[in-house]
Chains A and B, each alone.
Chain A
Amino acid sequence: MNSQDQLWDVAVVGAGIAGMSAAIFAASKGLSVLHIGNGSGLVFGSGLLDVLAVHPVKDSTVHEDPWHGIELLRKDEPSNPLALVGPKAMEVAVNQIMEALGKAGMPYEPSTTNHFVPTSMGTLKGTFGVPTTMTSGAKAFENKWPTLLIEIRGLREFSAAQMVHTMGDKWPGLRFEKIEFPDSKGVFELYATHLATALETNKTRQAVIDIVRPLIGDAKAVGFPAILGLSESTAVHKAFEDALGVPVFEIPTMPTSVPGLRLKHSFEVAAAAAGVFRRVQSVVTGVKFDNDIATLTLQDATGNQEVQAKAVILATGRFMGRGLFADREKVREPLLDLFVEQPESRENWHSRDFFAKSGHAINRCGLLVDSKWRPTDAFGAVVWPRLYAVGSILARQDWMRQKSGSGLAIGTAWAAVSAMSDDFGSIGGV
């Protein structure tokens, strides 16, 4: 199949969590979906799916109930995209994605509230969707189980000693042991992906189990850095629990991490299962609109091609994702030169304090959309009737401080696809 030979119902641009989710939701509604983007940003994910944990940001108020948090957000920041999605749609959307990822090899614990997952930094991460390989960490902390953490010599980003020192006052039964990973003698630097792959072999896994088992003592749970298998994490995790006889959990580590790779892989499997057609190696360099059809110019190693779609979903992210670009003067949306709501001048982009309580104003800049998630100009007029924007490119949110990145991505994707498919119904498409 060649993507340029047909008129697609929808072209999704961008393959982070928002683009992946939008493509899956649209395909699930029976629309033909062309998805463009390589998803390299997904590997920066931790595997945890945040919905909303902090509001208001300036007070650092952490919520156990994300739905209540969104209700409060509706009062305080009614135009925040999370508030526009609303708690009900958000819950449906996030659960659908968690289910799809589960079927694609990355199961999540069924969830109704936020969980507090211990991180490699020794902080507690309030988050909604927790991969089953990580859930016992939150439980171990909550119940203050005597817990053993495993440090691996040569794994540079992770120190179990650091976690014990940092969390020890709140978690007295926490201790650590340092081990030498099998066959790593003399190797300076170990990479989590290599260890994860190695643990998918019986021999290496058994060797690690044999090293760890005598160290368990009174521990009621054992925590590892997130290295328990790459694509076989469910099986590897279960094998460890069966062999060690206690709950085993992974600890989220600095990106790019193994759970980030799993997330990317599982999203790709889920998108394929939903019938999404993906153009992984292409970049969209231009979009032209006429009355009913958008023509997208795709660039890859072989040159330029044009594809056509009846609708376009923009999910290109912020500065890291290249969805937004800033020069010294202002922030622009580089693909379509869409209107970007932003602070007056660069003077106001950032606070002088990195950890400033209220965050940085630049992080709330972005696209404005109408009630159907269509980007508008400065005066509220839509740019094109079936151009939609989802995810972190949207204005008036601060996903990093609100701990709402995945919820923002998945929730807005859900809402935009719903609005779009209503529109397809009304124009008699599909």
Chain B
Amino acid sequence: METQVLIIGGGATGTSIMRDLALRGVDCILVEQDDLNAGASGRNHGLLHSGARYVSNDHDAAVECRIEGDILKRLAGQTIQATGGYFVAVQGDDENFIADFPGHCDRAGISWKKIDLNEAFANEPAISRKAIAVYEVPDASIDPFRLSLESVAHAKALGCRLLRRSQVVAFKREGNRITSTTVRDRVTGEEREIVADQIINAAGAWAKIVAGLANIHIDMLYSKGTLLITHNRLAHRAINRLRKPSNADILMPGGTVSIIGTTSVKIDNLDDVYPSIAEVDQIVEESSAMVPDLATVRYIRAYAGVRPLVGASGGDGRSVSRGFALLGHEESGLQNFATITGGKLTTCRLMAEKAADLVCERLGVTTPCVTTSVPLPSAYEGRWTEPGHAPKAWMRSANEDDPLICECEMVSGAVIRNLYNQLVKAGDNPTFTDIGLRSRVGKGACQGAFCAVRAAAHLYQHGAFQGRKGLDQIVDFFDERWGGQHGVLWGEQLAQAELMEALHCGLFGEELK
């Protein structure tokens, strides 16, 4: 395969680069070792920062968030809900920090409003009655899956290509260029060569490993952050703790649920990233100072992402902000390899612009970036991650071949079938996990125990599944989902997990297969 630019990594950054280049008329291929947003891009709060969180310790990042947030709200509005956000200080929090907050916001150009405590309690009853100050800022929620899915759909419509489950295993170097990249299909094991004029390493936390294949060292630390999902939504807005950024101080709404996090734990490798029991307990205990119900609510899931922290010695002066790092690797003698990593979901467009500028300059392409003015089109495959969309579509379709499959999230058979067939058409051999990433299937209280059975039956009924795929997929899907369940299994959710095991092991004996 040949292309102008090979992008490695299908997170928010990589998919934004893909779209940016496609809009400039540059041909590109994106290779992703797993699936879209499989790393930190899919394992975060889904918070579109107003910037207020950074005003006290990182003015540049705050301004960047404000500007980028406004661009995304304007051009990718379908992925965003303007929930607004509260910054809440409680008794015992640093009063100087609280007092300085409005001034810092002013300097970063971020609008704020002091909210009377009684009004705050009326608007957000979950806030602790020990709150002593509440400010409103224009935080919003963003669906990172929809953002990436629609960025890819847009780029594909412009002729660019995505290869999922394709892992870069080697670079061939001749002189000052990487002449070919070896990519292994992680399902079939087949390898192929991709010849590209330029290569962008946007592999997030894996960027260090990818660069290592080109004998380039990136000084990078890994920081694991764990988040918990509640069974019910606790607040309308983003609720931030008004203190120096610390553990468990952001509660985000996400459709019918809320997400609380995070932690920050240094880890040494990326092979075994999971939310530990200690982190779960830490979040439950610390977050309840801001939202007391978090001590007693039912949690349905925990997940962990890895923040790549690029050390000072890894930079080569091209960093445009402390938020992210763009490395041209000229010091290595290579002229067609660059790395972009770090940063935030909120600034993914800017990161893509800077990375694309660099490779375009190297390619001699002078077409400017247009992602500050071209809207992100809504795509069929992108809209099913939005809570509430599937039931509306199902009610409208009223088709007897379209039964409800996932009752928690109300996803119907046609959605599952269409997403499946779309992936098949793209040459993939799709899994339940793939469908889960592109829809709400398996995200409710049952965590797939019931809907996976119905989804398998449905796909067989319509001839989509062949052989033992249904049983194999159910087993794989539960293995994948379990990683996020076992940390929050107490109370009601433990009973739910017992039901799942009673059904799938007790009755069906799937563990014996």
A254 and B479 in contact (CB under 8 A), knowing A123-B508, A159-B458? Answer: no
Bound-complex Cα distance A353 to B463 (A): 31
At the interface, yes or no: A162 with Cβ under 8 Å from chain B? Answer: yes
- In the complex with contacts A44-B502, A165-B465, A346-B277 CB distance below 8 A: yes
A327:B490 contact, CB within 8 angstroms: yes
Which residues of A in the span 136-162 have a Cβ within 8 Å of any Cβ on B? 151, 153-154, 156-159, 161-162
Q: Which of B281, B400, B466, B513 contacts A186 (CB 8 A)?
A: B400
Spot the interface stretch: B81-89, B343-351, B449-457: B449-457
Whether a CB of chain B sits under 8 angstroms from the CB of A126 is: yes
Say yes or no: A326-B467 contact (C-beta < 8 A), given A156-B457, A355-B475, A401-B511: no
Is B100 in the interface zone, CB < 8 Å from A? no
* B277 neighbours in A (Cβ, 8 Å): 345-347
A390 to chain B, nearest CB (A): 18
Task: Flag if A318 contacts B498 (CB, 8 Å).
Answer: yes
In the complex, chain A residues whose CB is within 8 Å of the CB of B292:
none
**For chains A and B in complex, what number of residue pairs have CB atoms within 8 angstroms?**
156
CA distance A131 to B510 in the complex (A): 22
Q: Which residues of B contact A124 (CB under 8 A)?
A: 509
SS of A interface (majority) = loop
Bound-state CA distance A328–B143 (Å) is: 30
* Chain B positions within 8 Å of A254 at CB level: 450, 453, 503, 507
Q: Tell me the nearest residue of chain A to B398, going by C-beta.
A: A188
CB contact list, A77-128 vs B, under 8 A: 119-126
Q: Across the interface, do A156 and B403 meet the contact criterion of CB distance under 8 Å?
A: yes
User: Of B454, B470, B502, B509, which contacts A166 at CB under 8 A?
Assistant: B470
B residues less than 8 Å from A185 (CB atoms): 400
Interface string of B463-499 (1 = CB under 8 A from A): 1011111110011001101110110011100110111
Q: B457 contacts A125, CB within 8 Å? A: no
Asked whether, in the complex, the Cβ of B461 is within 8 Å of the Cβ of A151, the reply is: yes
Q: Are B400 and A188 in contact (CB under 8 A)?
A: yes
Taking CB atoms, residues of chain A closer than 8 Å to B510 are 121, 123, 355
- Once the chains bind, are A400 and B506 in contact (CB under 8 Å)? yes
User: Could you say which of B478, B486, B512 contacts A60, with CB atoms under 8 Å apart?
Assistant: B512
Q: Please measure, in the bound complex, the distance between the C-alpha atom of A347 and the C-alpha atom of B483, giving whole angstroms.
A: 13
- In chain A, residues 292-332, which have Cβ atoms closer than 8 Å to a Cβ of chain B? 318-320, 322, 325-328
Is there an interface contact between B507 and A125, defined as CB atoms closer than 8 Å?
Answer: yes
CA distance A403 to B508 in the complex (A): 10
- The reply to whether the CB of B234 lies closer than 8 angstroms to some CB of chain A is no
Q: Tell yes or no: A427 within 8 A of B by CB.
A: no
**Contact between B470 and A165, CB atoms less than 8 A apart:** yes
A350 within 8 A of B: yes
Q: Does A1 contact B (CB under 8 A)?
A: no
Asked, given contacts A154-B403, A320-B502, A326-B490, whether A357 binds B511 with beta carbons under 8 Å apart, the answer is yes
Which residues of chain A are within 8 angstroms of B478 by Cβ–Cβ distance?
354-355
**What is the chain B residue whose CB lies nearest that of A326?**
B490
- Contact partner of A157 (CB less than 8 A), chosen from B404, B454, B489, is B454
- The answer to whether the Cβ of B58 comes within 8 Å of any Cβ in the partner chain is no
The CA of A252 and the CA of B453, in the complex, are separated in Å by 13
Which residues from chain A contact B112 at a C-beta distance below 8 Å? none
Most buried by A among B399, B466, B490: B490
* Residues of the A chain whose Cβ atoms lie less than 8 Å from the Cβ of B458: 156, 159
Closest to A180 in B: B400
Q: A123-B508, A125-B509 are in contact. List 20 more A-B contacts (CB 8 A).
A: A60-B511, A122-B468, A123-B471, A156-B404, A156-B405, A156-B458, A157-B454, A165-B470, A254-B507, A320-B499, A326-B489, A328-B284, A328-B490, A349-B486, A353-B482, A354-B478, A354-B481, A355-B505, A363-B501, A403-B509
Interface pairs (10), CB distance under 8 Å? A121-B474, A122-B468, A122-B471, A158-B457, A165-B460, A189-B404, A255-B507, A320-B498, A363-B501, A400-B501
Using a CB–CB cutoff of 8 Å, the interface residues on chain B facing chain A are 274, 277, 281, 284, 399-400, 402-405, 450, 453-454, 456-458, 460-461, 463, 465-471, 474-475, 478-479, 481-483, 485-486, 489-491, 494-495, 497-499, 501-503, 505-513
